[in-house]
Amino acid sequence: MNQDKVFNRKISSMLPAGFLVLVLLPLLLLPLASVFIYALRGGLGNFGASLITADVLFALRFSLIIAFATAVINALLGTYAAYVLSKTRFPGREQLGIVLNLPVAIPNVVVGTSLLLLWGPIGLFGQMLEPLGIQPMFTPAAVLLAHIFVTFPYMLGTVKPVLDDLETTYEEAAYTMGASRWQTFLHIVFPALKGGLLTGSLLTFAHSLGEFGATVMVSGNLRLRTQTAPLYIFSQFESGNIQAANSVAAVLAILSFILFSLILFLAARTGKKGAQRGK
Amino acid sequence: MSILIEQISKKYGNHAVVDKVSLDVDDGELIVLLGSSGSGKSTILRMVAGLILPDEGRILLNGLDITLLPPQERGLGFVFQNYSIFPNMTIAENIEFGMKIRKTPASQRQARSAHLLELVGLPGLGNRYSAQLSGGQQQRVALARALAYEPRLLLLDEPLGAVDTKTRIQLRQSLKKIVKEIGVTTMMVTHDQEEAFELADRVAIVNDGRIEHYGFPSDVYYNPATQFTADFVGDINFFEGHVTASTEERCEIKLFGHWPVYRRGRLPFHPGQQVIYGVRPEQIRISLLEPESYENGINGVIEKSMFFGDVTRYSIRLADNGLLDVQVLNYLFIEGMAMPYELNERVWLIWSQGSGIIIKP
Amino acid sequence: MEAKKEKLSMSIHTASSVKYRLVRRTAAACIMLALVLWTIWPWLPSQRSNRPRTIVLYGFSILEPVITRGIFPAFQKKWMAETGQSVELISSFGGSGTVTNQLIMGVPAEIAILSTELDAQRLKKAGVIRTETWKELPHKGVINRTPFIIQVRPGNPKKIHDFSGLIQPGVRIVHTDPLTSGAANWAIVAEYGAAVRQPGSGPDAGRSMLRGIWRNVVVQAGSGRAARTQFDSGFGDALITYEQDAIWSLSRGSSRLEIVYPRSTILSEHTVVVIDSHVSGKEEKLIKAFVDFLWSEEAQRIFVESGFRSVDERLNSSNPRFGHIHDPFFIDDFGGWQKAKLSIIDDIWRNRVLKELKP
């Protein structure tokens, strides 16, 4: 009888998790599974064959490089912005904070269009650059630019709260001990930011990897030149190549999963150390 | 003169948080800025540290004008109320941080941090992290860290504010011992009067951005310059009165317009002047007998008595309808040197003509 | 004793887990490194040495397979044989209108193949090209043709045998969107033309045909390909599309849909535009060679194989899938695109039919 009770307790403790899975099944898990089902419908051979085309290899590599570059640039830029917004006081600070978060709310297509209207051959800056033979749009640089814009808030969103919570006295203590602003940042602020930075970079990387709306506008969607993996997937869907599209989508999903696991795993050490200290 | 503060002010909007404050600290002296929260005492300390720039005035350190120098170049040690021990570094790394910035060789750094840890009573804890230490231990680390690079001046901002009472009393003693042993000039901020009196060579009473009184603790207590100071440190009974006679030997003051009390000494008051007369509860004794001619006395009825363990405090309703607090050491009752008094008993309150404080209103 | 034992086992556990963790971490780092290496491989110095020459081509949607898998590899081979150089195709495909918009926005295309001459004219109007360059090419720039047909579900359950069959109530039509798709413009002219060319029909026949069809349109897709994907996924009863598109999808065996040939329909003509301002001097020869190749018999045969009707009528008999059209017509029968756009698309379809349909 006692064992029955224990068993019941066990069951009831698993109920919330069960319910969660049930809710997430149609929302998240099944659509994700269907990607793999469709990708593998033509057999493993077809799956492989649709992946080793020059277009796919280029699109995947290009996406990874752009995502990495975006994450690195926004890690620097976002941290700097978060630092300025959090640690300095100037008129219009709050408003600037709101504006910097806007890219989350603006449809990415709009972002792409506005970039085009600014930097494109008929745009404000574009027209000035035209005589110099510089054409930033429809190049890899344009894709990078769009991704930096679209993913900017993620870094800000993860780093700024940490900075806001970091008591100023830590920095002041370092100052009184003779540390310059930079040394203080390096030795005191940065170590505190590590977690937020990592999360922010991961989010940025992931969003960049999957970005579509702005990319399709500014890239010109040129295969072997500016076509990212999501653009390739979309083109294939458009052409009715559901299997090819899902194959790449599956690779993207697996890639994201591996990358996230790896980075979290590599970061686990710092986390554990921190937890130990927290005791 | 180690540090000289001249007329510094700091305004936020229209409100002067610090208003034309001047202070001087001698070499090796430990001074305490005592005030309630919001009095501006921490702002003064932070201006000395360079964490806040004053709007006007000068700060001289060993004769050098440091008013506008960034905190990094002042070479001061600062202990924060929350200690701010860097959580990502070990205790030893924390203590060595200032020396590392100064590019002190590692061996020297390690020797110094080991020495300091011993000095503050935490030998061998260098490899721990701040989260593994108690509040009191963290406070000691913060002190060791601020002393590590031999600062010209040590600044302590409510250093004992965040530990429990017992630990605070222990830390107070060791703090004074360490500071005096090293001989570093120290400025400390606190709201705790007992702490201030125990540690300070000199005390500055800070109120509303101004220094009300700056002097030795006994001076502050017995000869406060202002009514605020008299009220802020210890307890006191105040009366309004006016000077009726002032001679070389003593001053006569009439309370309630007719009741005379005397204060010995040559005092800068003249007959007819309105004054505040104060007397501290522990300076008064209760008696059933009338005062001698060389004493001050006033009579009234015991209205309330409160037992505080070491003392009993009586509130006495005076004939002229004022209320006066008196404190009696309970020890005296036990030894039979005083009688317990009952409510509504008519008594004399007697104090020496050598005590009592006269202040300009 | 018990406690001691526990401590001991704990320390052993820690030691082994440290070692294990080290192994795992090294493995993780290796995988990361491999991924990074793979990613940047083509850009490593050793790989960059001989970058091939490139042709940048933007085309409308249904051209993708035939250009990337048929025409271009053939040209690549030919160019290699003639010059010993390798050449690579950089391309992008979408709805003809979308492609035209991209071109106006300034994408670096050297060659564009558009669904309608209408879009070519838009390019000129926007100043992307200075003169009507396509008119100097063979066949006024028309590279191939394909008639507009109706595709229906297996067994033709709605009994649709001509455009007139589409106006019966309850038929759900998948159509393309004239805003972004060239196919849509062709389809509207086809629908209109088929009605007015019917023997004995009055001048209002075209309008009432359009009204009847558009009342039944349930999807407006952005491009011919997008409409095809929608229809293939089971949506709608009839799809109005290029014959090539239908043949291509049948030939892939992915659908058992049936083609209905209207008695009378238009043959769409697809226009090649060279964006000369984007062609640098040293690429001029390459681009010209490629454009010339498009009209070569070899290329035209490839088009025919993939379901397009060649501009060279003799070649068209080689594809047995091409169906018979009793009364084919061309855009020139309506005075060319410029006129047809104004009178049919804008005036009749947009200003009258659409307004009559919208309550």
> Closest Cα of chain A to C227: distance in Å?
9
Indicate the pLDDT class of residue A279, thresholds 50, 70 and 90. very low
Res. A21: pLDDT tops 70: yes
* Residues of chain B found within 8 Å of residue A180, distances taken between Cβ atoms: 72
Question: Mind listing the pLDDT tens digit for each residue in C220-245?
Answer: 888 777 888 888 888 899 999 999 98
The answer regarding whether domain C49-144+271-305 maps to CATH 3.40.190.10 reads: yes
Tally the C-alpha atoms within 13 A of residue A207's C-alpha that lie toward its C-beta.
Answer: 25
What is chain C's mean pLDDT, rounded?
Answer: 86
Specify the higher pLDDT residue, A87 or C173: C173
Touching chains, C (3+ CB pairs < 8 A):
A
- The pLDDT assigned to A266 comes to 64
Record the pTM. 0.75
Res. B117: pLDDT tops 70: yes
> Which residues 249-268 on chain C approach chain A with CB closer than 8 angstroms?
249, 254
Q: Which of A87, A177, A273 to mutate to test the interface with B (most CBs of B within 10 A)?
A: A177
Question: Mind listing the pLDDT tens digit for each residue in A40-72?
Answer: 887 888 888 888 888 899 999 999 999 999 999
Question: Mind listing the pLDDT tens digit for each residue in B154-168?
Answer: 999 998 887 888 888
Q: Domain boundaries in chain C? A: 49-144+271-305, 146-268+328-357
Interface predicted TM-score (ipTM) of this complex, two decimals: 0.83
d(CA B160, CA B193): 12
Which of C288, C176, C191, C260 lies closest to C221 in space, CA to CA?
C176
A266, part of any domain: yes
Give the ranges where B102-216 is alpha helix by DSSP (H). Answer: 106-119, 135-147, 165-182, 193-199
* Residues of chain B found within 8 Å of residue A178, distances taken between Cβ atoms: 72-73, 75, 98, 101-102, 149
Beta-carbon contacts of residue C230 (< 8 Å; ≥ 6 apart)? C174, C219, C221, C236
Q: Classify strands C238-242 and C111-114 as parallel, antiparallel or unpaired.
A: unpaired
Q: Which of C39, C40, C248 to mutate to test the interface with A (most CBs of A within 10 A)?
A: C39
A25, part of any domain: no
The reply to whether C56 touches chain A by the CB within 8 Å rule is yes
Q: Number of CB pairs < 8 Å for A and C?
A: 86
Which of A60, A104, A18 lies closest to A251 in space, CA to CA?
A60
Question: Mind listing the pLDDT tens digit for each residue in C272-330?
Answer: 999 988 888 888 899 999 999 999 999 999 999 989 999 988 898 888 889 999 999 99
Interior/surface letters A118-153, b for 16+ CB within 10 angstroms, e for the rest: ebbbebeebeeeeeeeebbbbbbebbbbbbbbbbbb
- The pLDDT assigned to B61 comes to 92
* Residues of chain A found within 8 Å of residue B146, distances taken between Cβ atoms: 176-177
- The pLDDT assigned to B288 comes to 86
CATH of domain C146-268+328-357: 3.40.190.10
What Rg, from alpha-carbon coordinates, does chain C have?
27
d(CA A17, CA A14): 6
Backbone angles phi, psi at C274, to 5 degrees: -95, 120
A2, part of any domain: no
Across the interface, whether the CB atoms of C105 and A137 are under 8 A apart is answered yes
- The pLDDT assigned to A269 comes to 53
The domain in which residue A255 lies consists of 35-278
Residue-by-residue DSSP string for C214-238: HHTEEEEESSHHHHHHHHHTT--SE
A4, part of any domain: no
- The pLDDT assigned to A2 comes to 67
- The pLDDT assigned to A177 comes to 93
A126, part of any domain: yes
> Which residues 235-254 on chain A approach chain C with CB closer than 8 angstroms?
235, 237-240
The enclosing domain of A208 has a CATH number of 1.10.3720.10
The reply to whether C42 touches chain A by the CB within 8 Å rule is yes
Across the interface, whether the CB atoms of A137 and C249 are under 8 A apart is answered no
Q: Which amino acid is at A52?
A: I
Distance between alpha carbon B202 and the CA centroid of its chain, in Å? Answer: 8
What is chain B's mean pLDDT, rounded?
Answer: 90
Which of B297, B289, B304, B313 lies closest to B344 in space, CA to CA?
B304
Res. B293: pLDDT tops 60: yes
% of residues, chain C, pLDDT over 70: 92
The stretch C100-107 carries a mean pLDDT of 87
Residue-by-residue DSSP string for B157-189: ESTTTTS-HHHHHHHHHHHHHHHHHHT--EEEE
> Closest Cα of chain C to A47: distance in Å?
17
Q: Which of B46, B47, B86, B149 to mutate to test the interface with A (most CBs of A within 10 A)?
A: B86
Angle at C251 (CA atoms; ends C249, C257), nearest 5 degrees: 55
Q: Considering CB atoms only, which of C35, C90, C106 is closest to A137?
A: C106
Res. C216: pLDDT tops 80: yes
d(CA A53, CA C180): 29
d(CA A51, CA A48): 5
Question: Mind listing the pLDDT tens digit for each residue in B177-206?
Answer: 999 998 999 999 999 998 999 999 999 999
CB atoms within 10 A of CB C83: 13
The stretch A68-89 carries a mean pLDDT of 91
Query: How many domains is chain A partitioned into structurally?
Result: 1
Across the interface, whether the CB atoms of B71 and A176 are under 8 A apart is answered yes
